[in-house]
Chains A and B, each alone.
Chain A
Amino acid sequence: MLAVKEIKFSTEALKKVDEIIARYPESRQKSALLPLLHLAQAEFGWCSTEVMDYVASLLNINPIEVYEVASFYTMYHLKPSGKYVLEVCRTGPCCLVGAEKIINILENKLGVKEGEVTPDGLFSFKGVECLAACGYGPVLQIGPEYTFYENLTEESVDELLTQLRNKN
């Protein structure tokens, strides 16, 4: 078996963990689960079983309590994804102003299907439900910062991809 890198938060992140747990009444530390999963995903890239077990140990809860939550919510990645996950809104109001076209453009430009990762490991894309930005559609977001790109056109998608590629 390959040696697994030890899963442990940085000192800075651990400080943040304490700060988050302090928001809730005593013995209600489980409330910190969703925020900690976000923190873990930002730190480790995705929510592997090891990562989820680690979060469970921090909160003193059973691992199953973490698995059932991580699998319920759409924001937690249960498998590795591209470095940049382009999440495009696919819901009605955005489709009225061209979201489906943007999804096709992404599929063509990246040369992968929804959910797959490009060979360079940089990109994957995914259709997601309404992002509460319907007046600025078509829109996409990129985690873990959840930066927003609005009023997308073929040109602006091109520009965005080039810009992200150049960063690497």
Chain B
Amino acid sequence: MAQKILLKNINIPGINTFEVYRQHGGYAAVEKALKTMSADDVVEEVKKSGLRGRGGAGFPTGMKWSFLAKPEGVPRYLVCNADESEPGTFKDRYLMTHTPHTLIEGMIVSSFALGANTSYIYVRGEMMPQIRILEKAIAEAKNAGFLGKNILGTGYDLEIYVQPGGGAYICGEETALLESLEGKRGNPRIKPPFPAIAGLYGCPTVVNNVESIAAVSWIVVNGGDEYAKIGIGRSTGTKLISASGNINKPGVYEIELGLSVEEFIYSDEYCGGIANGKRLKAVVAGGSSVPILPANLILKLANGQPRLMSYESLAEGGFATGTMLGSGGFIVMDEDACVVRNTWNFSRFYHHESCGQCSPCREGTGWMEKVLHRIEYGHGKMSDIDLLVDVSKKIEGNTICPLGDAAAWPVASAIRHFRDEFEWHVNNPKAAMDGNYGLANYADPIPVVEEAS
């Protein structure tokens, strides 16, 4: 059995209450950190653990924490990113719903490590039920002396508040999130300065994903070295994977990083194989923003070795044959899924969610949506396919925040790996409206020399 850290006790009745959570060893990390460790000791353990940010970028958490500026007399903030809006991702909702104290405990030890006395959990506004769950958990923890003034008599003070968003994917981007938390439109800020220097209210701030913060408690109790033993190479620990699409058992799974993609898709412990006896066509492995891969390339590397669920293995082959772990939103498509339609759908999403500050993103996402719509609905031209590639290249790298790249990659990768399906749509507009292209020829791996520059 694979090791579980975050979801170990998820099936215990009442684990969402303070009492039961505590009976099962909960809040031991708070006792240990506040009573026996210094703030720097906690940062050191997190560094040793090799924990990488679970929100999508995979930046080492301990390193991020050590960049936090500590000017005298200026408050510091920890802000938890619970905006969870990347299509395909629903793990943070799951964790907050079923074991909210796992997040609150992580918030307390992380705030202690960073020297924050006020911390915020920014939850997407649509998650009103989860907001209430978290507020109840905070009240319970406070009642038991784990929050508020002079926690456990150690002299450390902390308040945690839950902030609802207003419905905007862009507020998951950390600087847009901070703008939103200040009561403004969610327009990403130009960096630098980074939040570690000037974040919330201009004060030094760390923004971390729900899952990253939740993992800190286990690291504090068991030590960073123990955490680093789990996983593979620089992909240490466990990761929550949100599995959706055409599989037998969609849901949230905690895996040890390094599990093979094949086992994740086909074993009964996880996705349980493709639904309705169909065959696998393609996977978007890390949320809608990462490149889509055809079945053969997601299961195996270009050299024939099995591909693993890890930061490095999923990225192996660069943009030519690889993808990214991202937020762990694992979207599976069977032979009946239409790659063109899905790509159009995603480009509509990015167009809808672009904040509009940079013209390449604002205009480019609109163009891509429009052109993809006409290909999908039988009015496409052959030149449209290269036009899409061209627009995607003009967005990539030319914007204030990574949403531009996130909009460009799905389009560029779909055309790279499924060009024949796009061409079929252009050549057979009527058939494309009524049916789909199926599995066909997409499965030929692209030679590695074609690696994108």
Chain A residues engaging chain B, CB cutoff 8 angstroms:
23, 25, 28, 30-35, 37-38, 59, 61, 65, 68-69, 72-76, 90-93, 95-97, 128-137, 141, 143-148
Q: A-facing mask of B105-126, CB < 8 A → 1, else 0?
A: 0000000000000100000111
Q: Is the interface of B mostly helix, strand, loop or mixed?
A: mixed
- Could you tell me the distance in whole angstroms from the C-beta of B429 to the nearest C-beta in chain A? 19
- Could you tell me the distance in whole angstroms from the C-beta of A83 to the nearest C-beta in chain B? 17
The answer on a CB contact under 8 Å between A133 and B90 is yes
Instruction: Report the bound CA distance from A147 to B242 in whole Å.
Output: 21
- Could you tell me the distance in whole angstroms from the C-beta of B428 to the nearest C-beta in chain A? 21
Q: List 30 A-B contacts (CB under 8 A).
A: A28-B182, A33-B183, A34-B163, A34-B165, A34-B183, A35-B164, A69-B184, A72-B168, A72-B185, A73-B125, A73-B165, A73-B166, A73-B186, A74-B166, A75-B167, A76-B166, A76-B167, A93-B87, A93-B245, A96-B333, A129-B169, A129-B353, A130-B88, A132-B84, A132-B89, A134-B329, A135-B242, A135-B250, A136-B90, A136-B250
Chain A residue, CB-CB nearest to B356: A72
Report which of A33, A92, A135 forms a contact with B288, defined as CB distance below 8 A. A92
CB-defined contacts of A143 to chain B, threshold 8 Å = 128
The answer on a CB contact under 8 Å between A92 and B346 is yes
Q: Which 6 A-B pairs have the closest CB atoms?
A: A73-B166, A75-B167, A33-B183, A30-B183, A135-B250, A74-B167
The answer on a CB contact under 8 Å between B186 and A134 is no
Given contacts A35-B163, A95-B342, are A134 and B331 in contact (CB under 8 A)?
yes
- Residues of chain B at interface, number, CB under 8 A: 55
Given contacts A93-B88, A132-B124, A134-B87, are A75 and B166 in contact (CB under 8 A)?
yes
Instruction: Report the bound CA distance from A33 to B184 in whole Å.
Output: 8
The answer to whether B235 has its CB under 8 Å from any CB of chain A is no
17 extra A-B contacts, CB within 8 A, seeds A28-B182, A31-B181, A145-B128 = A25-B201, A28-B201, A30-B184, A33-B183, A34-B163, A92-B87, A92-B345, A93-B87, A93-B88, A95-B341, A96-B342, A130-B89, A132-B85, A134-B242, A134-B245, A134-B329, A143-B128
The answer on a CB contact under 8 Å between A133 and B346 is no
CB-defined contacts of A128 to chain B, threshold 8 Å = 167
Given contacts A72-B185, A134-B90, A134-B329, are A95 and B126 in contact (CB under 8 A)?
no
- Could you tell me the distance in whole angstroms from the C-beta of B35 to the nearest C-beta in chain A? 28
The answer to whether B266 has its CB under 8 Å from any CB of chain A is no
The answer to whether B129 has its CB under 8 Å from any CB of chain A is yes
- Could you tell me the distance in whole angstroms from the C-beta of B9 to the nearest C-beta in chain A? 21
The answer on a CB contact under 8 Å between A146 and B127 is yes
CB-defined contacts of B88 to chain A, threshold 8 Å = 92-93, 130, 134
CB-defined contacts of B341 to chain A, threshold 8 Å = 95
CB-defined contacts of B164 to chain A, threshold 8 Å = 34-35, 38
CB-defined contacts of A74 to chain B, threshold 8 Å = 166-168
